[in-house]
Structure 1
């Protein structure tokens, strides 16, 4: 038999069993797409800086964070790296990095607010090699007022125009407005640790930042750290904190246990917990797809055996039959793999946004990934194909009928279906748990809805004139408050909170200030005390504190109202607690709400404030924002209007949970769809095999509901078994996941019952529809045909 004839037979077999074939291919396509995408993401992140020849010799210098017990800070004072290089032969070079808090970058009339500007030592190329598309990077690192741009940012700002020699106006929070001349455009570095849009040299005002050390070959970083600490090289808190020499992976891979208090915006990071959960979910989807493929293949065996025996009667050789069976299974998997690559190309941009990844299609054919993909698809295609071809070619028709009707095969199929149900219900339950946590985050974020923050310390014009002008118009604004600083990045002071056992717990005090409208503008709930307007008349320096402050710093049984805060002296007086507000979060829910004090002052005393907080009316936010921008430009001519959406910023700090929830929702829907396809295929085959039986039952008086229940009954038992196995297992996993949060959402009975109800509902519709359609068949005609 020729190869063409074999292919022709295979295609005809697909067409005769097109329902099974389409379900098998679709299931495998989705499973392979999910698995390949997540596995590629894992390889991409695991091999970060893969092209860096010095990666194994580059280490990050860290020290204990004095503001958060058990955490490490990446900040190192400016003079420490040079001391280490001079004193220790193990340190061959160092690189210091820091970022500017860029508020905007302007070129002519175009303003760009999303731009990272970092400064680096001239040793940058010794650590991370960047190639220039145009210009000279060395010039940008060595000469003041020069800057190198990433290729993407240069194209965004200048389009097709040559950017070399052009001037960019950059405004930062600390240094105000500066002009930089573009001297280089840099090629993107794949799998890079660093991310930035603009790169400039270190200036004289650098006080400290992130430090990389390049060590001599075969140097032990742990022993070097011990030497540094033994020699008492100054730390942020000499005698209390110590240094650590850590590999780059500590910076790149973030877990709930080692995440820093504040992440570095110019460092690419990968959430390992999210990555592992995503990879596990993808493998579960692949298992469902493989179960579908196996069930569909078993269902097609009878038709294939009939075809095989006909071919034997026609003189086909055993070798030809094996080749035909092998080609059928192999080409099915290969087709699904090709379709999975097409599906990946369509959803890759969404995936990158969801997990903040940087994958592109060429990486799938990179030598880091291509061997794994080829090996994976070959195993998926060749192993089942070899088994099917050898097993079926040696199986007689009578042997198959015995096997088909036996309990062994039925138990095997039942186990596969139970496994599918388990995975589907487990994914639904995990999704509900993550969504519960998101609901809790939304509750904490409610006070920031429609709240914007304008201003920046040491760099912006006074915001008091803007407030005066907006008060004259008043449209679209609920309330405004002058403030002494930002809310989500507020000033903090170290605290040592005494515990009942006599030990001290390190924490920090959040310090805010505002005028008498601060409570209403920030959406805070005041629990006790006088109103802010009354407080400024009653006390020289009144403050509002949160519940956490009362729990940790006010002696038990003491009324906090009127309590003096002598440890926080202010001019010729001291702060006096005038009221208590409900706890509100300024960061991730992974951490407890810290003690907070809000200094309340009259509008006159806050007239030189750097910040203005405005709560907008939700019905016309965009219109009001445009009007505020126009008023800003009128009051501060030549200054670019900018603001911070506090709700969006707060949600960014909790984006790990949001990303996890979106990912689980996607995989739950995919898992349900695949399970539905599999049930449809199995029930479709079962109904066709039992047409004669059902016809006889109908002749003897069986009703439509009896027929439908006959098909649904075994699946109900399988769903019950799957539920009893899945929910306790996933509950244990999600219970451990919730432990990372200081504030946990409570489970309800709905979270436990909804997965069961969803799977039962979908299964009843899928299987019941098959039974209903079969019930419409004329039993007499059916018996004649059978």
Structure 2
């Protein structure tokens, strides 16, 4: 009976103060939703293979990247892992994995396109990972050639809802090869799986030369000590004597930002963008602080109204226990309701969140044994502690005592601190967002040269000179076309040792491109010196162009490089006739985190281009799709046994800069939520403040105050809060963003807007909300207000 009465009183209190209640619940729900999402994502990614009993005994076998100093590649030659198991008792087992370059599949002569990931693996896969079958026999796949296992998602794409086991899948690979496989098993999806694949087959010994290797060590083995033994025993590496092996735990690859600019992209291994994750988690905590500030402000204002009723209840005989129960229940149920709404918001936003971070979260994981205890603990702390404090602290206060402690100047100072804190967080998030977007705009500018560009061909394919000639005759939507011997974004890179005048030897990479005279025009590369490529080919036997980085790193200061033989600076070149005929401006082919590599562009004559295996094409944007269809038609006509495929150069370049794009989207998402929550809080605070000062404002109107003066009176404190918050937030936020920008070799120039817009936006939102409240209040008849107040 008592609980029913208490519940009725709580519901009546919510209804009487519905504006405060709705604002506080909405704010708290948004803050909890953001925090719950990031907490759950953090636990999900940290727990990869968390249920695997051998997780702590599994290590990646990595070695120094021979092309990039300071980096490692998860690669070992095919013969190395069996040797390690045979020679070292500490190695219990090994698993080699390789990715096949699959273009598309055919099922019942129907072409099915898509980004299919096909892996080949050893029979030891089952010793590392516990995959369960939905259909068929798992054991056949890795023991018999011509068998394939499909993931559940892949089986649905290829066969719909029909049974897949026993059906045939025709796989077409990039180099024109096609193989037919029989589906032997459909594998269930594994939550928090290390490997992400659509198809799995056994290794073909004739075509597997090495790949990612996992070692399972015996219990108690020191991985670092074993790695030292491998290097002492001189186990062969990619560059014997110059590189060495490492045994790294799963987190070394899984819980790190994917290196999209690397020559080895492990897109079939779950990798978490750690930097983005931590920044996002910090943003979510800041959003929760804004929500808690709103909740605290609204609660204090609402309690002033609520205590009037509690005072009446005391006079009517209510016990201290009943009053405490009512105050506790009010605060507790408010937080629980907000938490329930946050779960609904998470459900609605989960797909957007997965797209932003590339995650694979599902709602079922929120209620899994890994996450549910944390969520319950979080909600208990958020609900019980404030509710207990409110019930114990305020139940003994009289209405007069409460007004003395929590209203007047004391409450104004407290509100000022909370509002300023909200402004600080909002300004900080806006500053971070604008800085990240500024860097993103620089990335887009660097990527603009690749807009509309595609690349066709591969190093093992047929020469494309006849195909180019046919395109020139039949396809009109091509703006420019270049025949070359090398891919642009995946060009051949070799190392070069540079001897400085001081005697110090510096090691750098050298990028080499080989193409016809239209290469600069197709890629919009600016030439800084030398004659046009077409004239150079007419006058010289083997002209080359170098970029600014080549001149800066390899050419002595003050020397005019044009006219010198390439061999003077690149002693390892095989072209003894190559002469440097010009310099081009630096342009990026990788992430902006990396400095532009020294580049040599070799201009090839018509006879040299007969073995050109690549075509770079710039398509006119107005009829891109139609042009692509025409190009494919010509290709299929000339190469009926080889599937048509192309690389979108702009998309690939942006993918290599995916970290800054992802962070920009996440920060924009949270900045908008932060501003929304700040607006909610300001609305509630302004609504309360204007009604608390209605008698004062009415008297001012009677004495001749104008509407503009009244609106300024209400806006003045919020303007002060915004300026104070700006002074606090700007140096702190800027220090964090400068630290983030240090990772980039090329940073966007700072603009005045980055420093001005955060203050203008926050002040503008507060001004609009407060002005709206002041305008409504200024229209009220002052005489009636004074009468009612009396």
Shift of 1:293: 0.2
Shift of 1:52: 1.0
Once residues 675 and 502 of structure 2 are traced to their aligned partners in structure 1, the CA distance between those partners, rounded to angstroms, is 52
Aligned to 2:686: 683
Once residues 701 and 500 of structure 1 are traced to their aligned partners in structure 2, the CA distance between those partners, rounded to angstroms, is 83
Deviations, residues 703-722 of structure 1 (Å, cap 9, x unaligned): 11211111111111111111
Aligned to 1:560: 561
Once residues 92 and 471 of structure 1 are traced to their aligned partners in structure 2, the CA distance between those partners, rounded to angstroms, is 59
- Check if 1:313 corresponds to 2:301: no
Deviations, residues 279-311 of structure 1 (Å, cap 9, x unaligned): 000000000000000000011122101110122
Q: Which stretch of the first structure deviates more once superposed, 673-682 or 618-627? A: 618-627
Once residues 498 and 167 of structure 2 are traced to their aligned partners in structure 1, the CA distance between those partners, rounded to angstroms, is 54
**503 and 258 in structure 1: CA distance in 2 versus 1, 3 angstrom threshold:** farther
Once residues 45 and 172 of structure 1 are traced to their aligned partners in structure 2, the CA distance between those partners, rounded to angstroms, is 32
Q: Which stretch of the first structure deviates more once superposed, 564-573 or 232-241? A: 564-573
Aligned to 2:522: 521
Secondary structure, counterpart of 2:161 in structure 1:
coil
1:550-699 to structure 2, matched below 5 A, reads 550-566=551-567, 567=570, 573-699=576-702
Secondary structure, counterpart of 2:577 in structure 1:
strand
Once residues 149 and 580 of structure 2 are traced to their aligned partners in structure 1, the CA distance between those partners, rounded to angstroms, is 51
**Gapped regions of structure 2 (runs ≥ 5):** none
Shift of 1:648: 0.6
Aligned to 2:540: 539
Once residues 603 and 668 of structure 1 are traced to their aligned partners in structure 2, the CA distance between those partners, rounded to angstroms, is 56
**710 and 143 in structure 1: CA distance in 2 versus 1, 3 angstrom threshold:** same
Aligned to 2:497: 496
Count, aligned residues: 785
Aligned to 2:228: 226
Secondary structure, counterpart of 1:142 in structure 2:
coil
- Check if 1:23 corresponds to 2:26: no
Check the 8 A contact 1:28/1:293 in 2, yes or no.
Answer: yes
Deviations, residues 216-264 of structure 1 (Å, cap 9, x unaligned): 1011001111111111212222222211111111110224999966321
- Check if 1:247 corresponds to 2:249: yes
Q: Which stretch of the first structure deviates more once superposed, 86-95 or 3-12? A: 3-12
Aligned to 2:290: 288
1:57-136 to structure 2, matched below 5 A, reads 57-107=57-107, 108-136=109-137
Deviations, residues 331-353 of structure 1 (Å, cap 9, x unaligned): 11111111111111111011111
Check the 8 A contact 2:452/2:621 in 1, yes or no.
Answer: yes
Secondary structure, counterpart of 2:252 in structure 1:
helix
TM-score (norm 2): 0.96
Check the 8 A contact 2:175/2:642 in 1, yes or no.
Answer: no
**75 and 397 in structure 1: CA distance in 2 versus 1, 3 angstrom threshold:** same
Secondary structure, counterpart of 1:22 in structure 2:
helix
- Check if 1:754 corresponds to 2:757: yes
**761 and 277 in structure 1: CA distance in 2 versus 1, 3 angstrom threshold:** same
Check the 8 A contact 1:64/1:73 in 2, yes or no.
Answer: yes
Check the 8 A contact 1:71/1:258 in 2, yes or no.
Answer: no
> RMSD of the alignment, in Å?
1.8
Q: Which stretch of the first structure deviates more once superposed, 460-469 or 671-680? A: 460-469
Aligned to 1:355: 357
Shift of 1:387: 1.2
Q: Which stretch of the first structure deviates more once superposed, 155-164 or 699-708? A: 155-164
Check the 8 A contact 1:68/1:506 in 2, yes or no.
Answer: no
Q: Which stretch of the first structure deviates more once superposed, 624-633 or 278-287? A: 624-633
Once residues 144 and 490 of structure 1 are traced to their aligned partners in structure 2, the CA distance between those partners, rounded to angstroms, is 34
Q: Which stretch of the first structure deviates more once superposed, 177-186 or 248-257? A: 248-257
Once residues 620 and 15 of structure 1 are traced to their aligned partners in structure 2, the CA distance between those partners, rounded to angstroms, is 60
Once residues 349 and 606 of structure 2 are traced to their aligned partners in structure 1, the CA distance between those partners, rounded to angstroms, is 52
Shift of 1:511: 1.5
Q: 2:391 aligns with which of 389, 392, 396?
A: 389
Once residues 671 and 40 of structure 2 are traced to their aligned partners in structure 1, the CA distance between those partners, rounded to angstroms, is 21
- Check if 1:776 corresponds to 2:779: yes
Shift of 1:68: 0.9
Aligned to 1:466: 467
Aligned to 2:149: 148
Shift of 1:402: 1.5
Deviations, residues 622-663 of structure 1 (Å, cap 9, x unaligned): 222222222222332354322111101110111110010001
Check the 8 A contact 1:481/1:613 in 2, yes or no.
Answer: yes
Shift of 1:5: 2.4
Once residues 139 and 51 of structure 1 are traced to their aligned partners in structure 2, the CA distance between those partners, rounded to angstroms, is 25
Q: Which stretch of the first structure deviates more once superposed, 722-731 or 638-647? A: 638-647
Check the 8 A contact 2:595/2:745 in 1, yes or no.
Answer: yes
Once residues 461 and 722 of structure 1 are traced to their aligned partners in structure 2, the CA distance between those partners, rounded to angstroms, is 64
Check the 8 A contact 2:475/2:630 in 1, yes or no.
Answer: no
Check the 8 A contact 2:493/2:512 in 1, yes or no.
Answer: yes
Shift of 1:462: 4.0
**750 and 501 in structure 1: CA distance in 2 versus 1, 3 angstrom threshold:** farther
TM-score (norm 1): 0.97
Check the 8 A contact 1:68/1:261 in 2, yes or no.
Answer: no
Once residues 710 and 724 of structure 2 are traced to their aligned partners in structure 1, the CA distance between those partners, rounded to angstroms, is 23
Shift of 1:474: 4.1
**305 and 753 in structure 1: CA distance in 2 versus 1, 3 angstrom threshold:** same
Secondary structure, counterpart of 1:402 in structure 2:
helix
**261 and 477 in structure 1: CA distance in 2 versus 1, 3 angstrom threshold:** closer
Once residues 502 and 411 of structure 1 are traced to their aligned partners in structure 2, the CA distance between those partners, rounded to angstroms, is 66
Secondary structure, counterpart of 2:185 in structure 1:
strand
Shift of 1:176: 2.6
Check the 8 A contact 2:428/2:730 in 1, yes or no.
Answer: yes
Once residues 438 and 159 of structure 1 are traced to their aligned partners in structure 2, the CA distance between those partners, rounded to angstroms, is 40
Shift of 1:596: 1.3
Secondary structure, counterpart of 2:611 in structure 1:
coil
Aligned to 1:237: 239
Once residues 481 and 718 of structure 1 are traced to their aligned partners in structure 2, the CA distance between those partners, rounded to angstroms, is 60
Q: Which stretch of the first structure deviates more once superposed, 611-620 or 574-583? A: 574-583
Once residues 581 and 84 of structure 1 are traced to their aligned partners in structure 2, the CA distance between those partners, rounded to angstroms, is 48
Once residues 106 and 562 of structure 1 are traced to their aligned partners in structure 2, the CA distance between those partners, rounded to angstroms, is 55
Aligned to 2:736: 733
**781 and 483 in structure 1: CA distance in 2 versus 1, 3 angstrom threshold:** same
Aligned to 2:192: 191
Check the 8 A contact 1:516/1:603 in 2, yes or no.
Answer: no
Once residues 157 and 429 of structure 2 are traced to their aligned partners in structure 1, the CA distance between those partners, rounded to angstroms, is 41
Deviations, residues 572-601 of structure 1 (Å, cap 9, x unaligned): 743222222111111111111101112221
**119 and 579 in structure 1: CA distance in 2 versus 1, 3 angstrom threshold:** same
Aligned to 1:170: 171
Once residues 188 and 480 of structure 1 are traced to their aligned partners in structure 2, the CA distance between those partners, rounded to angstroms, is 44
Check the 8 A contact 2:683/2:770 in 1, yes or no.
Answer: yes
Shift of 1:767: 0.9
Check the 8 A contact 2:261/2:591 in 1, yes or no.
Answer: no
**499 and 747 in structure 1: CA distance in 2 versus 1, 3 angstrom threshold:** farther
Check the 8 A contact 1:67/1:506 in 2, yes or no.
Answer: no
Aligned to 1:454: 456
Once residues 351 and 20 of structure 2 are traced to their aligned partners in structure 1, the CA distance between those partners, rounded to angstroms, is 31
